[in-house]
Each structure stands twice: as structure tokens, then as C-alpha cells.
């Protein structure tokens, strides 16, 4: 009697478990594509794609992309030329300078998606500059052009522009010679201030060339005209075009028989 | 019958303790402040103007520990700025205050929300004064207006740089005007308003005050706005800096320490004042900059100096180094804002009698900052400058630091480094990195070095979730939050 009872209860219990089990057996498909339960909400906020990009500090061709989309969980990037990525914040290396349309698609779990195409500008932004641009540095190594130190003397009379120093060139052992980094195939405008004595014909011989290829024709090789007065500095500008493979540009002024003073030199890339 | 008195008692009590459910169910947005018009006379309006400064000053953490009851004003600003740069960090990883330096701030962050609300408190109080300006004496109306607009611009300039597009509100709005309260205005439009407000302040005010808005304060902040706005106005920035320089009202302190320990000295252009020992008029950040066994604040210690910054000081600090921080065996702490009576060289160090109610002013703008902005304006986004006027301004700051070697050329990196050490712990570095366009690069490297997870989306703070929740779907979140 007592045993029978136990048996009956166990049988019932087992039967119950098995029966229940068949109802709640875990079948993914049942849960995944089930109709929404009561109280679940329809997604009304859809993805909105947006991104930004910055060039690597070391290599201008390497562009870092940043996803700025909202309501998205998967990302697809098309950099053109068959290159793609599914990372959130990918990095892509472009072939060189240019404008590349990049398409970015942001999607959510319900396959709602949004796309945006932004023209990515890849450009080399090297800013060229002369060291010791007022010639007022000590030692004068920046203007020595690898020939040791130029022996030009400092001069504050007449008053240089903005009170900066001036370089006095009054013999053939004095010169200005500096090589700076530039970009190939660009137009640069070099401006400096100068004043010369009124005797003679040239305030100095100006040579601007590709420092790595001195045998090729110089970008510019000419005499600097005497200044209009011998009592005050005046600015003068020269434009040069760098070669297709130029990396270093040499700027050189040699004494040409007339004492001259130079000050405040600058170089600007002309867009 | 004899139960009636109990019944009466119960009813009476229930009347007293009945909850105002309406307020719980319909919380007011941070960007709305309910005001009763109490303005009757000129002195009422003046009190209201002073009240705008009060919103900026904020409430000491030592006074009311419940952050939901009060706004801390600028007293948390170092968390949102300095902590998010390579300069400083929190001493521990506990609590939401420790989220800033690791770039793990989320939309529920209470300090970020408090700062956002504080700035809007400034804006709303300013708008409110403008609304009652007619009550002031005719001779004072222009000045009060200029002060209110200066402060409104000051607050918006902070908001727009930290949160990007924010609701632009220039009038008194009711708590239910959702369109006005929660529609995000594009950055460029916010800047247009900031510039207009500061230009008006600069044209009306004089240089008679340092603890309240002045012409130089408006010009100096406007210079920074011009340098920061999406299309920088370098010429305008240069003119504004030169206006401050040529005013003759300001000069560098010969002793760097005096900048911080001599109140409203000749170098200060605008400062938010605090009073030592007065719990209602003091600040808590001085004590929070202490940590370890020296802990004077309620927190574990903030603005703990990173090794990276110490290296920068070794390179370019000069005599600023010993004034700026002190290295204990377990941590390096800020010493620019030590409470009155402090001596950190003693063992154990002492911090005076009211370290938690410190009176050190919050320096919003000082002359050295203007001199370095002058260099920045002349550099005009370029890589370097050797302009004589720029060299002159730069040399003054260097000379004062004991670095008297003649500078003949200044690169962008050198200028950024100079600002870093000159203005360390003054909440400038974050904005400098953004303005120089190097925030992403510098902070990525910094995060890699210290093992934090950083991406460019962290350059904006999240719009506080509380605001979004009560905006009825109007207010949108920044990407990545």
C-alpha cells in the first residue's frame, strides 16, 4: 500500500516532467522568429550613418576612420577599389594624394540600415619653413649649408623689419645656404627682406635648386637687383616650382660684389 | 465617538506628509529653472546679477553631500577636463568620478550631469535678469545686461566644446516648452550667439573688476572663442589679445607662486571667488586634490599627476615645476591650490584649519593665457612662427619661468607644451588639445600607454540621460553613447 503509493507518485511525477519537457523543449527557431510578446515595442528609431576621419601623424596616406553613427550595431565600409572593412573604426591606407569617396553603411539587428558617402581628402600637409628665419641665431649653423658656419655678421642698422636681426654679407667668404624639406611638384613663394649699398649691379646671386640633384637645371638662378634705397629694408619675392621627385630644396645666396643685408625670410606653398 | 480624535489626528498627519506625487512623476528638466519674480528695485536686479556668478561658483561638496539637491558649478570641472587629458587621473577606480580619466563616462554620470545643469543654471539666471532688466536704474541697465550676456556666453562656450550641439536658449522659457528646451542647436549657431554676447560685453564693460565680468575678460574669452570656433578668426583673436595686452591693466607676476597665492593679483583677468572657512562660499576641489594618508577631501584623491606630465615639466617647466606639484612616496599631487595654512613639506603635511572649505579662487582667465593665445593667433593655424610680436609675448612667459634663453622660432608643438606646463591643473589642456587639432592623436597614444580604451567618440561627453529621458524623444544623444 505504502510502496504502491510511492510508485504511483513517482510515475506521475516522471510522466509530468516528460510531458512538460516536450512542451518547453529548447528550439531556437521558436524563440528567434517568434511573434513579439505582449508589451514589446516596435523599433521606431533607425540607424543614422555618419563618420569622421583623420590622417595619421606620420604617414598622410594612412587614414583613421571613426564611426559616428547612432542606433547601429554592424558596420560596412567601402573605400573604393574593392577595399572594404566591417570594423567599427577601421584604418585604411590610400595609394596617394587625391579625393576618395568612401561609403559607410551602418545597420542594426533588424537589418535596418543607413548609408553615407563622404569624399575623403588625402593630402600631404608638409609645411616648409626655414630655420633661423631672421638670421639672428648663434651659432649660425642653420645657414652654413654644410660648409661649417657661415661668417655673416649680425646687423641692426638699418632697422630690420619688425626689429628682427639681419645678416650682413660683405665678402665672398660670407653667404647664406640652407636646405629645407619641400613637397614635389608644388609652387612655392619665397619672400625675404633686404637692403643693399647702391654701388655695383647685384645684391647677391640667388640659387634655388633640388638639393639631391644639383646637376639638374636649378629651379632659379639669378642676380638679386639692388634695393631701391640703401637706407631701408624692402621685401622681395621669388616663385619656384619643385620637380616631380624633389624632397629637399637648397636656398643659397652668394656675395656678388655689393654689400647687402638680409632679414626675415619665409616660404609659402601656393595652392 | 472617542475614536474621532484619533481619526482627526490621522487625517491631520496625512495632510502634512502626503507626497507631492506630481513632482515625482513630472520632474523639471535641468535646463529649466522655476522663478518667481521678486524683482522690485535696482538692488534686486543687482542681487540677481550676483546670483549668476553664484551659479558658476557652485555649492561646496562639503556642505550638501546629496548631489541631486545642488549644483557644484565649476567645482567639478577638473573631472570633465583635466582628468580626460594626459595630465591627471583619479587616485582610485571607484565611483563615477573615476570614469573620466579612463574614458568610461556614460550618460548616467552624475558629475557630467551636474556640470551640464550648472552651466544651464548660469544661462537661465542670465536670461532671467535680461527679462527684468527694465526694473534696474537706467544708468545700470547696459552694464547688468553686459554682465549677464558675458556669463551666458561663458557657460555656452564650455557646453558647446564638451557636448557639441546643445539647446540654445536666450529667453526665459517655461518648464513645459519642450521644443525650446530640448532641440539641439548646431555648434555654428551657438558660436554665433557666444560671439555676439561677448562683443556686446566687451564694448560696454570696463576693467574695474576681476571677480566680475570686465572688458578684458570678454576680450580674452572672445579671443579663445575665435581660435576655437569651426572657422577660426585668427585676425580677430590677435586683435582681442592685443587689446588686453595694450590696456596696460595686466602684467605677469614676477613670482609664479603669487599667481595662485595672492588673490586677484595683476595677472588675474577673471576669477570665481571663494572664501576660506565659509561653508557656503568655499570650494571643495583644493581638498580633493589630496590623496593617500594625506586625504583632506571626501574622495580618494583627484588630479593625481601623470608621469607624462612630470616629464613635460622636466623638459619645459623651469621654476613653475616646484609651484605646480609635489611628489609624495605614493603619489604626485597638485600644489597650485593648497588650502590656506598648508605645508606639504612638513611630515606629515598640514593643510590648515579649513581644508574642506578652501578659499582658493578658480582662475577662469589670466594674463599668461592671453600672451600665449596671442602667439597662437599670429601662428594662425601654421606650424611655426618667428613673428617678433609673437616671440615677445612668448618670451615674457618663458622669462618669468626662469627660462631666459632667447627664443627665435616657436613651433606649434612648443606652444602646446608651453601652455601645458604654464596652465597645468587650470582646466585648459583639454580645450587646448581640441583647438590644436591633436586631441585624437595625443589621447590615443596616452590611452595606449596607460591601458585605457579610447576612441574619437570620447571627444564628446554624453548628453545626460536624465535630460534625454524627459525630453519626449526630442533630445538626441552623441554618437557612441
Is residue A249 within 8 A of residue A213, CB to CB? The reply is no
* B409 with A136: Cβ contact below 8 A: no
Q: Look up cell 614676477; give the residue.
A: B254
Mutate to test the interface with A, among B472, B479, B480 (most CBs of A within 10 A): B479
Residue A248 in grid coordinates: 629637399
Confidence (pLDDT) at A77 = 98
Going by the DSSP 8-state scheme, the letter that residue A91 receives in this structure is E
Confidence (pLDDT) at A112 = 94
Confidence (pLDDT) at B36 = 55
In the predicted model, is pLDDT for residue B429 greater than 90? yes
A174-178 mean pLDDT: 93
Confidence (pLDDT) at A134 = 82
Closest in A50, A64, A127 to B479, CB measured: A50
Confidence (pLDDT) at A153 = 86
A230-253 mean pLDDT: 93
Closest in B384, B389, B456 to A52, CB measured: B456
Residue B451, sorted as left (phi over 0), alpha (psi -120 to 50) or beta, turns out to be: left
Q: What residues of B are in the A interface, CB distance below 8 Å?
A: 382-384, 386-389, 408-409, 440-441, 455-457, 476-477, 479-480
Confidence (pLDDT) at A231 = 92
Q: What is the secondary structure of A110-152 as a DSSP string? A: TS-EEEEEEEEEE--------SSTTS--SS-GGGBTTSS---P
* A50 with B382: Cβ contact below 8 A: no
Is residue B266 within 8 A of residue B258, CB to CB? The reply is no
* B186-237 per-position pLDDT tens digit: 999 999 999 999 999 999 999 999 999 999 999 999 999 999 999 999 999 9
In the predicted model, is pLDDT for residue B411 greater than 70? yes
Q: Look up cell 588625402; give the residue.
A: A122
CA distance B395 to B404: 8
A245-250 mean pLDDT: 92
- Helix (H) / strand (E) containing A224: strand A220-224
* B480 with A129: Cβ contact below 8 A: no
* B119-167 per-position pLDDT tens digit: 999 999 999 999 999 999 999 999 999 999 999 999 999 999 999 999 9
Q: What's the length of chain A?
A: 271
Q: Which residues pair with A269 in a beta bridge?
A: A188
Closest in A52, A64, A129 to B384, CB measured: A129
* B319-377 per-position pLDDT tens digit: 999 999 999 999 999 999 999 999 999 999 999 999 999 999 999 999 999 999 999 99
In the predicted model, is pLDDT for residue B183 greater than 60? yes
The 3-state DSSP class for residue B370 equals helix
Q: Of A136-145, B83-92, B363-372, which range is least confident?
A: A136-145
In the predicted model, is pLDDT for residue B417 greater than 90? yes
Confidence (pLDDT) at B479 = 94
What's the longest Cα–Cα distance across chain B?
99
Instruction: Spell out which residues of chain B touch residue A67, defining contact as CB-CB under 8 Å.
Output: 457, 479-480
Is residue B131 within 8 A of residue B175, CB to CB? The reply is no
Instruction: Spell out which residues of chain B touch residue A50, defining contact as CB-CB under 8 Å.
Output: 479
pLDDT bin (cut points 50, 70, 90) of residue B168 is very high
Confidence (pLDDT) at A256 = 94
In the predicted model, is pLDDT for residue A266 greater than 70? yes
CA distance B474 to B166: 12
Q: Of B31-45, B294-308, B377-391, B457-471, which range is least confident?
A: B31-45
B163-173 mean pLDDT: 96
Tell me which chain A residue has its CA closest to the CA of residue B391: A164
Residue B83 in grid coordinates: 582628468
Is omega for the bond preceding B348 within 30 degrees of 0, making it cis?
A: yes
In the predicted model, is pLDDT for residue A151 greater than 80? no
B7-15 mean pLDDT: 54
Instruction: Spell out which residues of chain A touch residue B409, defining contact as CB-CB under 8 Å.
Output: 131-133
Q: A56 versus A18: which is more confidently predicted?
A: A56
Q: A53 versus B386: which is more confidently predicted?
A: A53
Mutate to test the interface with B, among A48, A127, A266 (most CBs of B within 10 A): A127
pLDDT bin (cut points 50, 70, 90) of residue B15 is very low
B131-135 contacts: CB < 8 A, separation 24 or more?
A: B131/B171, B131/B172, B132/B37, B132/B39, B132/B45, B132/B48, B133/B45, B135/B39, B135/B40, B135/B41, B135/B42, B135/B44, B135/B45
Confidence (pLDDT) at A40 = 79
Q: Of B30-39, B101-110, B296-305, which range is least confident?
A: B30-39
CA distance B376 to B227: 8
pLDDT bin (cut points 50, 70, 90) of residue B270 is very high
Closest CA to A263 of A208, A171, A192: A192
Q: Name the pairing type of β-strands B332-334 and B342-343.
A: unpaired
* A68 with B389: Cβ contact below 8 A: no
Q: B471 versus B63: which is more confidently predicted?
A: B471
What's the longest Cα–Cα distance across chain A?
139
Q: What values do phi and psi take at B454, rounded to 5?
A: -120, 140
Confidence (pLDDT) at B4 = 67
CA distance B283 to B361: 8
* A164 with B386: Cβ contact below 8 A: yes
Is residue B137 within 8 A of residue B91, CB to CB? The reply is no
The 3-state DSSP class for residue A268 equals strand
In the predicted model, is pLDDT for residue B37 greater than 60? no
Q: A194 versus A154: which is more confidently predicted?
A: A194
Q: Of A70-74, A161-165, A248-252, B29-33, which range is least confident?
A: B29-33
**Residues B290, B52, B122: CA angle, nearest 5 degrees:** 75
Q: What's the length of chain B?
A: 481
Instruction: Spell out which residues of chain B touch residue A127, defining contact as CB-CB under 8 Å.
Output: 382-384
B169-198 mean pLDDT: 95
CA distance B475 to B3: 55
Residue B164 in grid coordinates: 557639441
Confidence (pLDDT) at A161 = 81
Residue B389 in grid coordinates: 610680436
* A132 with B440: Cβ contact below 8 A: no
Q: Name the pairing type of β-strands A74-80 and A62-67.
A: unpaired
Confidence (pLDDT) at A44 = 83
Closest CA to A261 of A177, A159, A172, A139: A159
Tell me which chain A residue has its CA closest to the CA of residue B386: A133
Q: A260 versus A141: which is more confidently predicted?
A: A260
Q: A169 versus A269: which is more confidently predicted?
A: A169
* B409 with A163: Cβ contact below 8 A: no
In the predicted model, is pLDDT for residue B406 greater than 50? yes
A116-135 mean pLDDT: 88
Amino acid at each position: 500500500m505504502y510502496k504502491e503509493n510511492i510508485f504511483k507518485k513517482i510515475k506521475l511525477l516522471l510522466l509530468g516532467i516528460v510531458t512538460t519537457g516536450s512542451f518547453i523543449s529548447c528550439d531556437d527557431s521558436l524563440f528567434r522568429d517568434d511573434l513579439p510578446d505582449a508589451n514589446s515595442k516596435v523599433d521606431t528609431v533607425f540607424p543614422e550613418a555618419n563618420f569622421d576621419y583623420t590622417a595619421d601623424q606620420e604617414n598622410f596616406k594612412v587614414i583613421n576612420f571613426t564611426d559616428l553613427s547612432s542606433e547601429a550595431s554592424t558596420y560596412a565600409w567601402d573605400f573604393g577599389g574593392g577595399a572594404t572593412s566591417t570594423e567599427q573604426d577601421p584604418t585604411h591606407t590610400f595609394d596617394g594624394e587625391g579625393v576618395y569617396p568612401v561609403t559607410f553603411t551602418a545597420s542594426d539587428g533588424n537589418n535596418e540600415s543607413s548609408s553615407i558617402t563622404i569624399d575623403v581628402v588625402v593630402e600631404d600637409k608638409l609645411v616648409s619653413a626655414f630655420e633661423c628665419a631672421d638670421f639672428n641665431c648663434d651659432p649660425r649653423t642653420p645657414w652654413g649649408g654644410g660648409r661649417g658656419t657661415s661668417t655673416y655678421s649680425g646687423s641692426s642698422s638699418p632697422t630690420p623689419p619688425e626689429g628682427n636681426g639681419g645678416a650682413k654679407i660683405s665678402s665672398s667668404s660670407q653667404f647664406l645656404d640652407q636646405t629645407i624639406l619641400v613637397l614635389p611638384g608644388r609652387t612655392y613663394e619665397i619672400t625675404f627682406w633686404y637692403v643693399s649699398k647702391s654701388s655695383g649691379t647685384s645684391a647677391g646671386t640667388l640659387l634655388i635648386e633640388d638639393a639631391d640633384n644639383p646637376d639638374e637645371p636649378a629651379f632659379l638662378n639669378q642676380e638679386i637687383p639692388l634695393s631701391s634705397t640703401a637706407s631701408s629694408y624692402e621685401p622681395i619675392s621669388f616663385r619656384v616650382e619643385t620637380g616631380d621627385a624633389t624632397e629637399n630644396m637648397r636656398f643659397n645666396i652668394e656675395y656678388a660684389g655689393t654689400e647687402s643685408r638680409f632679414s626675415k625670410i619665409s616660404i609659402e606653398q601656393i595652392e | 465617538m472617542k475614536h474621532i480624535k484619533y481619526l482627526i489626528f490621522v487625517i491631520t498627519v496625512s495632510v502634512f506628509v502626503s507626497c507631492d506625487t506630481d513632482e515625482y512623476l513630472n520632474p523639471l528638466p535641468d535646463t529649466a529653472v522655476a522663478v518667481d519674480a521678486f524683482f522690485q528695485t535696482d538692488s534686486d536686479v543687482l542681487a540677481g546679477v550676483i546670483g549668476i556668478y553664484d551659479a558658476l561658483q557652485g555649492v561646496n561638496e562639503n556642505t550638501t553631500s546629496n548631489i541631486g539637491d545642488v549644483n557644484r558649478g565649476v567645482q567639478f570641472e577638473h573631472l570633465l577636463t583635466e582628468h580626460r587629458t594626459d595630465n591627471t587621473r583619479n587616485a582610485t577606480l571607484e565611483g563615477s568620478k573615476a570614469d573620466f580619466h579612463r574614458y568610461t563616462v556614460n550618460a548616467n554620470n552624475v558629475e557630467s550631469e551636474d556640470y551640464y545643469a550648472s552651466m544651464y543654471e548660469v544661462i537661465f539666471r542670465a536670461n532671467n535678469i535680461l527679462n527684468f532688466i527694465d526694473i534696474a536704474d537706467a544708468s545700470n541697465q547696459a552694464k547688468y545686461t553686459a554682465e549677464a550676456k558675458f556669463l551666458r556666453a561663458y557657460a555656452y562656450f564650455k557646453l558647446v566644446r564638451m557636448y557639441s550641439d546643445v539647446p540654445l536658449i536666450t529667453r526665459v522659457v517655461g518648464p513645459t516648452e519642450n521644443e525650446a528646451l530640448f532641440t539641439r542647436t548646431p555648434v555654428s549657431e551657438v558660436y554665433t550667439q557666444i560671439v555676439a554676447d561677448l562683443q556686446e560685453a566687451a564694448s560696454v564693460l570696463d576693467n574695474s573688476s576681476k571677480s566680475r565680468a570686465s572688458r578684458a575678460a570678454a576680450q580674452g574669452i572672445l579671443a579663445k572663442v575665435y581660435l576655437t570656433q569651426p572657422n577660426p578668426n585668427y585676425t580677430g583673436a590677435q586683435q582681442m589679445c592685443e587689446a588686453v595686452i595694450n590696456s596696460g591693466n595686466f602684467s605677469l607676476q614676477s613670482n609664479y607662486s603669487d599667481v595662485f597665492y595672492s588673490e586677484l593679483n595683476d595677472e588675474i583677468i577673471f576669477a570665481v571667488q571663494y572664501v576660506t572657512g565659509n561653508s557656503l562660499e568655499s570650494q571643495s576641489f583644493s581638498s580633493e586634490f589630496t590623496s593617500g594618508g594625506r586625504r583632506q577631501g571626501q574622495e580618494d584623491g583627484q588630479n593625481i599627476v601623470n608621469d607624462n606630465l612630470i616629464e613635460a615639466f622636466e623638459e619645459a617647466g623651469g621654476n613653475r615645476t616646484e609651484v605646480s606639484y609635489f611628489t609624495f612616496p605614493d603619489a604626485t599631487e597638485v600644489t597650485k591650490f593648497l588650502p590656506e595654512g598648508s605645508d606639504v613639506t612638513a611630515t606629515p603635511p598640514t593643510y590648515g584649519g579649513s581644508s574642506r572649505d578652501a578659499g582658493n579662487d578658480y582662475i577662469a582667465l589670466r594674463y599668461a593665457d592671453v600672451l600665449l593665445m596671442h602667439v597662437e593667433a599670429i601662428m594662425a593655424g601654421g606650424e611655426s612662427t618667428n613673428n617678433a610680436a609673437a616671440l615677445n609675448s612668448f618670451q615674457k612667459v618663458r622669462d618669468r619661468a626662469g627660462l631666459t634663453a632667447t627664443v627665435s622660432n616657436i613651433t606649434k608643438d612648443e606652444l602646446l607644451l608651453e601652455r601645458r606646463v604654464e596652465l597645468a591643473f587650470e582646466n585648459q589642456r583639454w580645450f587646448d588639445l581640441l583647438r590644436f587639432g591633436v586631441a585624437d592623436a595625443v589621447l590615443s597614444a596616452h590611452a595606449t600607454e596607460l591601458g585605457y580604451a579610447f576612441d574619437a567618440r570620447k571627444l564628446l561627453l554624453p548628453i545626460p540621460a536624465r535630460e534625454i529621458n524627459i525630453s519626449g524623444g526630442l533630445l538626441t544623444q552623441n554618437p557612441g553613447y
